């Protein structure tokens, strides 16, 4: 109950603090979109008016017939409210000849003038058709039809001419301004803060509800994450006690397609027989340090597999086990690992340093790697260039080999620029005189490329996915 109250108060506070910003974002986006439609309507009206004027008979003098023609067009046209033909200093209209109004501002085709009839400022368009100049007042589009947030106090519209910027239109109560492109002139919507106040009042509780639900989802997600993590931690402890972690093996082949070694990959075999991949649990296992127990369990099961199926093969291959930076820095674990593998005769142990963690004590790591190498075990860098250490590990440690990650193999035959990075890795490894293993190999094209570059070993689905020991083919 306390948590719900906290979420309610927190969401209320956030809503209060962000209501104005949210209202601005919603209003600005909506009015900008509406302004685009309104501007399109005005420009479309101009095109239609020009087309209608082109169909008029030629008007040479302001007689009854000409006035009737103008009156008929005003009546029939949905776009034209008032129409006049310029004749010298006069304007021929449907009601007769009047003085041509004095133009205050002009940005062709738009002009602004004081109407001799209403005495108010009007904006019209000048349209030149058939050597005649027409002054056209358009029927104003219904603002309420085009603007969702229309109200008399909320929005006002004017045209912006180069000669002035209508600073008098932007009042202290102006919230923001939206411009619309009308060709040679801009249409301007001035939005009053009255709309801001109105939206804040209308939408505040909606904002509050949205924030409350969002915070509830976040809180639920956090609780779920920690509960799941806690459950996984308990499951890992139980899994270790029940000996549920088993080795799978992925073949590592020579360039002539002979089995030279295997990478040992952990699988979690649940009580129902289903298998969990490392991606589901390995990170938590490393953080809990049960990874040490899992690794030793794997080593013992690999030893048992090789003893049990020793009649299936007639040569010794290497087995590559993955070790984390934390394990490399753990002297007690390295002692136990060496003790467990002591006098192993059925396979050649080797190790690959994974880069999910960084080293905290390089001196200790270097000493422990040297201890493994003194036992005759090779130590390679796994997924070179993709993790914390990258190629700096070659400067810090005397490594025996490098494993090229699948992300670099995937560029073969696909991206000639990125393949140069792969070439650089290969060249560096050869200059250092260390073994090169390419993993994640899936196509014949990739195999051909790696053979051409004389890679030492190839690993990937091209040859086999990870399998139980009994499914390994030692005849290759």
Q: 422 and 312, same structural domain?
A: yes
Model pLDDT, residue 5: 64
Is 336 part of a structural domain of the chain? yes
- Helices and strands (DSSP H and E) totals, the chain: 13, 19
DSSP 8-class letter at 476: -
Provide the domain limits for residue 135: 2-196
CA distance 37 to 31: 10
CA distance 424 to 162: 60
Which CATH number does the domain housing residue 449 bear?
3.20.20.450
Model pLDDT, residue 19: 61
CA distance 360 to 367: 13
Is 213 part of a structural domain of the chain? no
Tokens of 449: 């490329």
Residue with tokens 């051909």, as numbered in its chain: 448
Tokens of 3: 């948590």
Q: 422 and 275, same structural domain?
A: yes
Instruction: Name the domain boundary from 160, 181, 196.
Output: 196
User: Which helix H or strand E contains 207, and what residues bound it?
Assistant: helix 193-241
Model pLDDT, residue 157: 80
DSSP 299-354: HHHHHHHHHHTGGG-SS--EEEEEE-HHHHT-HHHHHHHHHHHTT--SSEEEEEE-
User: Which helix H or strand E contains 122, and what residues bound it?
Assistant: strand 121-129
Model pLDDT, residue 168: 47
User: Which helix H or strand E contains 281, and what residues bound it?
Assistant: helix 278-288
Q: 132 and 40, same structural domain?
A: yes
Instruction: Name the domain boundary from 135, 161, 196.
Output: 196
Rounded (10°) CA dihedral 198, 202, 207, 212? 140
Is 290 part of a structural domain of the chain? yes
Instruction: Name the domain boundary from 166, 196, 226.
Output: 196
Q: 62 and 158, same structural domain?
A: yes
Distance of CA 268 to the CA centre of its chain: 33
Q: 247 and 171, same structural domain?
A: no
Is 232 part of a structural domain of the chain? no
Is 264 part of a structural domain of the chain? yes
Distance of CA 426 to the CA centre of its chain: 33
Q: Exposure of 167 by Cβ count < 10 A (0-12 exposed, 13-18 middle, 19+ buried)?
A: exposed
Residue of 135, 139, 130 whose CA lies nearest to 106: 135
Average pLDDT of the chain, as a whole number: 82
The partner residues of 246 in beta bridges, in order of sequence, read: 267
Is 303 part of a structural domain of the chain? yes
Q: 269 and 143, same structural domain?
A: no
CA distance 282 to 461: 22
pTM: 0.58
Is 215 part of a structural domain of the chain? no
First-to-last C-alpha distance (Å) of the chain: 66
Model pLDDT, residue 396: 74
Q: 147 and 267, same structural domain?
A: no
Q: 246 and 180, same structural domain?
A: no
Model pLDDT, residue 28: 87
With contact defined as beta carbons under 8 Å apart, do 169 and 190 qualify? yes
What residues contact 330, with CB distance under 8 A and at least 6 apart? 292, 368
Q: 355 and 284, same structural domain?
A: yes
Domain count, the chain: 2
Q: 42 and 157, same structural domain?
A: yes
Is 225 part of a structural domain of the chain? no
DSSP 8-class letter at 467: B
Q: Omega of the bond prior to 109 within 30 degrees of 0, cis?
A: yes
With contact defined as beta carbons under 8 Å apart, do 155 and 35 qualify? no
Q: 389 and 298, same structural domain?
A: yes
Residue of 318, 324, 330 whose CA lies nearest to 253: 318
The partner residues of 157 in beta bridges, in order of sequence, read: 189
The partner residues of 91 in beta bridges, in order of sequence, read: 86, 98
Q: 52 and 185, same structural domain?
A: yes
Block means of pLDDT (10 residues each) for the chain, 476 residues, are 59 57 82 86 81 79 84 79 84 84 77 75 82 80 75 80 56 83 79 82 68 70 68 83 93 94 94 88 85 94 89 82 93 95 91 82 92 94 66 76 90 81 88 92 94 94 94 81
Per-residue b/e over 197-228, b at no fewer than 16 CB within 10 Å? ebbbeebbeebbeebbeebeeeeeeeeeeeee
């Amino acid at each position: 109950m306390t948590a719900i109250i906290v979420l309610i108060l927190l969401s209320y506070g956030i809503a209060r603090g962000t209501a104005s910003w949210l209202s601005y974002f919603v209003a600005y986006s909506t009015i900008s979109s509406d302004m685009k439609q309104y501007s399109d309507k005005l420009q479309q009206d101009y095109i239609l008016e020009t087309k209608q004027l082109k169909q008029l008979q030629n008007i040479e003098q302001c007689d009854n017939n000409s006035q009737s023609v103008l009156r008929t067009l005003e009546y029939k046209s949905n776009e034209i409210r008032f129409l006049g033909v310029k004749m010298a200093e006069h304007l021929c209209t449907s009601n007769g000849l009047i003085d041509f109004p004095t133009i205050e501002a002009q940005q062709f085709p738009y002009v602004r003038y004081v109407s001799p009839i209403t005495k108010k400022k009007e904006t019209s368009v000048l349209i030149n058709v058939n050597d005649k100049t027409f002054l056209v007042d358009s029927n104003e589009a219904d603002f309420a039809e085009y603007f969702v947030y229309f109200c008399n106090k909320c929005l006002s519209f004017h045209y912006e001419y180069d000669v002035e910027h209508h600073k008098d239109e932007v009042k202290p109560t102006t919230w923001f301004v939206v411009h619309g492109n009308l060709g040679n002139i801009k249409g301007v919507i001035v939005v009053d803060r009255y709309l801001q106040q109105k939206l804040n009042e209308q939408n505040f509780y909606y904002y509050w509800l949205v924030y409350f639900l969002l915070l509830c989802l976040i809180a639920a997600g956090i609780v779920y994450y920690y509960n799941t993590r806690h459950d996984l931690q308990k499951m890992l402890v139980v899994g270790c006690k029940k000996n549920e972690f088993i080795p799978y093996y992925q073949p590592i082949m020579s360039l002539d397609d002979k089995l030279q070694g295997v990478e040992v990959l952990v699988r979690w075999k649940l009580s129902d027989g289903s298998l969990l991949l490392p991606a589901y649990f390995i990170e938590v296992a490393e953080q809990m340090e049960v990874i040490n127990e899992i690794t030793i369990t794997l080593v013992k099961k690999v030893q048992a597999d090789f003893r049990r199926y020793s009649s299936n093969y007639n040569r010794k291959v290497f087995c590559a086990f993955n070790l984390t930076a934390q394990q490399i820095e753990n002297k007690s674990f390295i002692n136990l690992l060496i003790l467990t593998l002591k006098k192993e005769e059925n396979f050649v142990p080797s190790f690959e340093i994974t880069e999910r963690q960084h080293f905290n004590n390089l001196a200790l790591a270097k000493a422990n790697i040297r201890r493994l190498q003194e036992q005759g075990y090779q130590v390679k860098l796994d997924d070179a260039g993709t993790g914390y250490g990258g190629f700096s590990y070659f400067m810090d440690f005397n490594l025996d080999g490098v494993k090229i990650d699948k992300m670099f193999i995937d560029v073969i035959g696909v991206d000639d620029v990125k393949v140069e990075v792969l070439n650089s890795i290969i060249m560096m490894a050869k200059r250092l005189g260390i073994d090169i293993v390419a993993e994640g190999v899936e196509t014949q094209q990739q195999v051909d490329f790696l053979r051409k570059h004389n890679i030492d070993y190839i690993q990937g689905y091209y040859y086999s996915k990870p399998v139980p020991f009994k499914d390994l083919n030692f005849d290759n």
